[in-house]
Amino acid sequence: MKKIASAIVRFRYLLTALMILLCVPAALNIGGTGINYDLTAYLSPETMTARGLKIMEAEFENTASLSLVLIGGGDGDAFSFAEKISAMEGVMSASYDPLTGMKAVDGEEWRLISVISDAASAERVYDGAEALLKDTPHISSGAVREGRIIRKSMNDEIPQVMLISCLIVLIVLLVMSRSPVEPVMFFMCIGVSIVLNMGTNTIFGTISFITFAVAAILQLALAMDYSIMLINAYDRMLENGLDRAAAMAAALEMSFLPVSSSALTTVAGMLSLVFMSFTIGFDIGMVLAKGIVISMLTVFLMLPGLLTLFTPLMLRTAHRPLRLKGKHLSALIQKSRGWIAAALILLIIAGAILQTRNAYTYTVWDMDGDSARISDTFGRAEAVALLIPVCGTDEDYARESAALREIADLEIRGRKAVSSVYAMPVTGEAALKSVDADAAADMMGTDRGLMRAFFALLGIDAPIRGGELVKKAEAFLATPGGWLVPAETKKQIAELSAALSLAEKTFNGREWSRAILFLDMSYTDPGAEDVLDGIRKIMTAHYGDRWAMTGGIVATDDICTSFSGDLRRVGLITVAAVFLIILLSFKNAFVPATLVCVIQGAVWVNMAYSGLKDGSVFFMCYLICMALQMGATIDYGILLTENYRRCRASMAPWDAAAAALDRSMQTVLTSGLALVTAGFAVGKISSVFYISSIGTMLGRGAVVSVLLVLLLLPQMLVWLDGVIVGKRPENRAAGETGTA
């Protein structure tokens, strides 16, 4: 460590210049990272949803739904607009049902037009529909609208969150630092590390919108204490009379263990998310872990040059910082004779029990006002795509029709589950119906004698499926004999051919056919799981395992199924990795055991409180915040424990605890306040549920962790002094007195 510290000090200005220069290409590269707003992309490949999506992407164009509600007007207006929207490119269907699609709301009639389009055309269809209805009172909802609202919210809110957090951190640093120059160097250092992290995210291709929203602010909060540790160590070395270079070398040597241990435990917490089956954990974990490593390297390689360069200015502008006396807190803990620690241990036990009873939610109605009003009025139609082996024969379509009839008739708890079905046997019914010459003439409005002659011309002497008839007619029209067919008949054949082509394109692929169901419920509704189980039983009875299903409600069910495994996996990996890193740093198994117990206790208390306060906990927030809180706030325990062990070389246990608190409190409270501020700022300002929930829960967790580290850990270090520090001959008597 001494050699590395000396080398860094020797080349400190070159290293500082290099880190700043690296920011230029990184800043230019930030825009090269794509932002993914589709959370289903992070489902495990083994889930039913992922299987279904893979088939959909290979065989079909993905679909998007749009709901348009006309306020006022009449049925004629709704039918007219539906017809015009149906004619737009990319629209698969646009329908209005006067029986179910009209509701009276506050004395006005609302009429619902349901639109299904291919996903590639969804933006264009939405804009076209809004333009068509611009002079008509209406509201709308759909994935395109909600996606635009999320993007706008993020663009508006992320700068606000960052600005507010930076201002609060700046105020804290100005109050607690020795010079106003120190916060400037801190922000230069953290700014460089954030730019480097964001600029290198292109290695992932895309990152989720959640990661993009929280990465920078969490990097600021999580890595703040690294800079504070080095600055405080450097200040102490200067006070001891060392010159700038020697003081920095000594400060670096002193800071390597606590900073690297803190960084590695945080990285361990982040990387535990990589093992989630819902792979947004990989996305968030990798980006934040990379950011922590970059922040640590920036502190070691860039900050020494800045500190030594600006030392004269720091000394000229020095002021008396706000000193938070840990000795007073230590005296309070000691006078309590263990009652404070006992109460906190009971709180942890209660938290451990209560958090096992938490209710979890797996889907979020994170909708704007218009979308919520439509959902409340007409119900939330959840689209589900069923995929089966491609249909080509009458027997195939008969089997599909039978399965769909059973699904359409599903009733759960006395409630009809499926509101509508779109499939080839339904939408393309005319193409699948077998017709003879007379039936075909009636269908097309043509003279029966002419149609019989046309059938004879085509060589058809038995009933034939409508779709096959159209194909044979088209083939005949392409021959020289096609001129015999009247122009009106040609037009009708062309219209039928276009309808058949759309139906085939929509519902039949090369190897798979699909049907689209709309369920009149969301996953949070009673009986939703029973509906999905009912569909599975029907499809398995007809198709064995040769089928798949996908959709938002299916994805939610897949996530729910994998959550318990993810919870155990992330928790065990986080604890094991943190334990191992601290063990390697301190070479004493009781140190990581003690620290993990304290911070895991803080996690349990946080999760129990969140469950009691909010009624339920969103599963993704639980997993992410569990890893973040453990990985980030255990740094405080590492710092306090390291200071305690140093002080025990010459002090009795309670004196060492008081001195350790005195040395650590400034850093713990400064860093903790940054994490609390960042968390609650994100929670308060962001209107996107996923992001605000992560922020709020992380802010609560930081509060609990800081309190347990400052109030419980000193007592535990004294209680466990014999195994954490061991008996020191020169302090045996003092140690016994102090422990008593």
Residue 738 reports pLDDT greater than 60: no
Q: State whether the Cα torsion 527-533-538-543 is positive or negative.
A: positive
Cβ atoms within 10 Å of 239's Cβ, excluding its own: 10
At 103, is the pLDDT very low, low, confident or very high (cuts 50, 70, 90)?
very high
At residue 109, φ and ψ (nearest 5 deg) are: -95, 125
Predicted pLDDT at 367: 55
Judge whether residue 732 has pLDDT over 50. Answer: no
Asked if pLDDT for residue 249 goes beyond 80, the answer is: yes
Is the pLDDT assigned to residue 134 strictly greater than 60? yes
Ramachandran region, residue 257 (left: φ > 0; alpha: ψ -120 to 50; beta: rest): alpha
| pLDDT given for residue 731 in this prediction | 45
User: Residue 566: its pLDDT value, please?
Assistant: 86
Give the least confident one: 35-44, 99-108, 445-454, 715-724: 445-454
Average pLDDT of the segment spanning 503-515: 85
Q: Decide which of 640 and 43 is more confident.
A: 640
Is pLDDT larger for residue 355 or for residue 738? 355
Name the residue among 382, 612, 422, 649 with its Cα closest to residue 513.
422
CA distance 82 to 222: 52
pLDDT at 718 over 80: yes
User: Could you give the CA distance from residue 375 to residue 388 in angstroms, rounded to a whole number?
Assistant: 30
Evaluate if residue 528 carries a pLDDT over 90: no
Spatial separation of the C-alpha atoms in residues 87 and 164, rounded to whole Å: 49
The pLDDT assigned to 106 comes to: 86
Task: Check pLDDT > 50 for residue 643.
Answer: yes
Instruction: Identify which of 302, 268, 291 has the alpha carbon closest to the alpha carbon of residue 199.
Output: 291
Please tell me whether the overall predicted TM-score, pTM, comes out greater than 0.85 for this model.
Answer: no
Matching residue, tokens 């460089």: 192
Q: Is there a contact between 573 and 565 (Cβ–Cβ < 8 Å)?
A: no
Residue 348: pLDDT band (50, 70, 90) is very high
Predicted local confidence at residue 4, as pLDDT: 92
Instruction: Quickly state the pLDDT bin for 300 (edges 50, 70, 90).
Output: very high
> Is pLDDT larger for residue 159 or for residue 327?
159
> Rounded CA gap, 514 and 92, in Å?
14
Query: What's residue 328's pLDDT?
Result: 80
pLDDT of the residue at 532: 92
In terms of average pLDDT, the best of 455-464, 649-658, 667-676 is: 649-658
Instruction: Judge contact between 225 and 635, C-beta under 8 A.
Output: yes
The DSSP-derived string for 47-94 is SHHHHHHHHHHHHS--EEEEEEEEESS-HHHHHHHHHHHHTSTTEEEE
User: What average pLDDT does range 500-519 have in this prediction?
Assistant: 84
Helix axes 590-614, 689-711, angle to 10 degrees: 130
Between 385-389, 593-597, 616-620, the lowest mean confidence (pLDDT) is in 616-620
Q: What is the CA radius of gyration of the chain?
A: 33
Q: Which CATH class name applies to 322-357+588-740?
A: mainly alpha
d(CA 670, CA 175): 10
List the helix and strand counts (H, then E) for the chain.
32, 17
Check the CA dihedral 712-717-718-722 and report its sign: positive
* 372-429+509-556: CATH architecture: 2-Layer Sandwich (3.30)
Q: Are 402 and 412 in contact (CB under 8 A)?
A: no
The predicted structure's pLDDT at residue 657: 92
Distance separating alpha carbons of residues 33 and 18, to the nearest angstrom: 24
At 199, the pLDDT band (50, 70, 90 cuts) reads very high
| CATH, domain range 62-147 | 3.30.70.100
* Residue-level pLDDT at 320: 76
Q: Write down the mean pLDDT value for the chain.
A: 86
Q: What is the pLDDT of residue 728?
A: 52
The closest alpha carbon to 245, from 14, 15, 5, 19, belongs to: 5
pLDDT in tens, 540-560: 999 999 999 998 889 888 888
User: Looking at residue 730, what is its pLDDT?
Assistant: 44
The predicted structure's pLDDT at residue 56? 87
Residues contacting 608, CB < 8 A, separation 6+: 350, 351, 352, 353, 354, 355, 358
Supply the angle between the helices 448-458 and 437-444 in degrees, to the nearest 10.
Answer: 120
pLDDT for res 366? 53
Residue 740 is predicted with a pLDDT of 26
Mean pLDDT of 143-170: 84
Over residues 157-177, the mean pLDDT reads 83
pLDDT surpassing 80 at residue 578? yes
pLDDT of residue 309: 93
DSSP string, 274-300: GG-SSTHHHHHHHHHHHHHHHHHHHHH
pLDDT of residue 441: 77
Task: Say if residue 722's pLDDT is above 70.
Answer: yes
Q: Where are the alpha helices (DSSP H) in 686-720?
A: 689-711, 713-719
Confidence bin at 68 (pLDDT 50/70/90): very high
Going by pLDDT thresholds of 50, 70 and 90, the confidence category of residue 412 is confident
Q: Among candidates 46, 14, 28, which has minimal Cα distance to 558?
A: 46
Helix (H, G, I), strand (E, B) or coil at 108: strand
Give the pLDDT band (50/70/90) at residue 727: low
Answer for the pair 185, 306: CB distance below 8 angstroms, yes or no.
Answer: yes
Cβ(715)–Cβ(670) under 8 Å?
no
Q: What topology is assigned to 177-320 in CATH?
A: Multidrug efflux transporter AcrB transmembrane fold (1.20.1640)
Per-residue confidence (pLDDT) for residue 589, from 0 to 100:
92
Of 664, 628, 653, 717, nearest to 223 by C-alpha is 628
Q: Give 429-487 as a DSSP string.
A: HHHHSEE-HHHHHHHHT--HHHHHHHHHHHT--S-EEHHHHHHHHHHHHTSGGGGGS-H
Which band of pLDDT confidence, cut at 50, 70 and 90, is reported for residue 365?
A: low
